[in-house]
Amino acid sequence: MYIAAGQFAVTPDWRENARLCVTMMARAAAQGASLLVLPEALLARDDNDPELSVNSAQPLDGGFLQPLLAQSAQDNLTTLLTIHVPSIPGRAVNTLVALRGGEIVATYAKLHLYDAFNIQESRRIDAGKIVPPLIEVEGVRVGLMTCYDLRFPEMALGLALAGAELLALPAAWVKGPLKEHHWATLLAARALDTTCYVAAGECGNRNIGQSRIVDPLGVTVAAAAEGPGLVIAEYDRARLALARQQLPLLRNRRFAPPQLL
């Protein structure tokens, strides 16, 4: 199975962003990918209007997802991304959606909101309350996470203990001092913590890009730079089995499984 991670700079126009998603989906499918991870919060963004992401929120049956669902109906791809979905007036939920066969097959409301580095995501975003589901892609169990979730190892470990073999992480990692270092270190750490593959996918003036696919021994097997792009790597079940044989962390643990809210 092949995994793809795609990144682009989100624009203020949701129609243009939907077009970019459809283009990425078609490219990934044409290159034989079974799973595509797209960025976080890609409905609309404007560096000069930090409120736009929430103000432009759409329901799951809104106009943004319709062309993506139409594309999804034409290929064998499972596509992951997040958009803001309205909750109460003036607030929204950062919602991961999984698309396959022209349908939404899973959703996940982001648990860990980015209240760090002088940003307060919770000011207008409501946190989720339900542990993300595992989905299956060609027999591979995939755990769902979103961006800041990466900094919480108990979440990744909980998904691995539930059976995840791959962790998929739509992200929009904000630039800042040492942030690229944090990103690379945390992706490798979560892969090693869980002996899972990890795939992440936004770039632009505000975010670092640098989508990566990391194998269960912490090796980056595909990576993007700071600009728009699509990277693809093979999910190798034998590599996963080898990692879990050589590094049986999930069996050697001495602490009780983490309790996810």
In terms of C-beta density within 10 A (0-12 exposed, 13-18 middle, 19 or more buried), how is residue 48 classed?
A: exposed
- H or E stretch covering 131: none
Closest CA to 208 of 135, 117, 124, 123: 117
Residue 40 a catalytic site member: yes
Tokens 């580095």 map to which residue? 117
CA distances from 30 to 20, 221, 229 (A): 15, 20, 15
| Beta carbons within 10 angstroms of residue 51's beta carbon | 11
Phi, psi of 6 (to 5 degrees): -120, 140
Q: Is 120 helix (H, G, I), strand (E, B) or coil?
A: strand
Catalytic pick among 110, 121, 165, 196: 110
Residue 147 a catalytic site member: yes
Query: How many Å apart are CA 252 and CA 259, to the nearest integer?
Result: 18
Residue 110 a catalytic site member: yes
Query: How many Å apart are CA 187 and CA 142, to the nearest integer?
Result: 16
Phi, psi of 5 (to 5 degrees): -125, 125
Catalytic pick among 21, 40, 165, 203: 40
Which residues, in sequence order, are CB contacts of 181 under 8 Å at separation 6+? Answer: none
What is the crossing angle of helices 179-194 and 153-161, to 10°? 30
Catalytic pick among 147, 196, 202, 203: 147
Q: Which residue numbers are catalytic?
A: 40, 110, 147
